């Protein structure tokens, strides 16, 4: 994984660091390098999970649309229900957002 200058990987939660490993493996399966463009840095929406180290943004501009969708789906499947994997126009957003267990 490459980290964009200024992006903060060190302050990510352990869950997000695991998500980075999963994302990196999926990106490698498609012969792409994973680039973290934002962790616990930058300006994000109010109450963003970035602020707590529970979200990361990853570069996708170098990837064709149909491949981006497959990569996102693979990461979503690997990480499971406690992570949101959102394909934005210019990046992939992954956040650790545990869902409450239902009885």
Sheet (strand 2-3) strand order: 2-3, 35-38, 55-59, 91-96, 83-87
State pLDDT tens for residues 21-49: 999 999 999 999 999 998 876 655 656 78
State pLDDT tens for residues 8-17: 888 899 999 9
List, in order of start, the domains of the chain with CATH numbers. Answer: 2-96 (3.30.1380.10)
| SS3 label, residue 82 | coil
> Residue 85's beta-bridge partner residues?
94
Q: What is the pTM of this model?
A: 0.88
Q: Find out whether 56 and 39 touch, Cβ atoms under 8 Å.
A: yes
Average pLDDT of the chain is 90
As a whole number of angstroms, the distance between CA 61 and CA 87 comes to 11
């Amino acid at each position: 994984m490459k980290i964009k200058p200024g992006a903060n990987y060190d302050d990510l939660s352990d869950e997000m660091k695991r998500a980075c490993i999963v994302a990196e493996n999926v990106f490698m399966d498609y012969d792409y390098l994973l680039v973290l463009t934002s962790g616990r840095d930058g300006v994000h929406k109010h109450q963003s999970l970035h602020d707590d180290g529970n979200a990361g943004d990853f570069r996708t501009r170098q990837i064709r649309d149909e491949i981006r969708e497959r990569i996102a789906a693979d990461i979503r499947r690997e990480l499971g229900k406690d992570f949101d994997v959102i394909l934005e126009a210019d990046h992939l957003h992954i956040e650790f957002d545990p869902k409450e267990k239902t009885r």
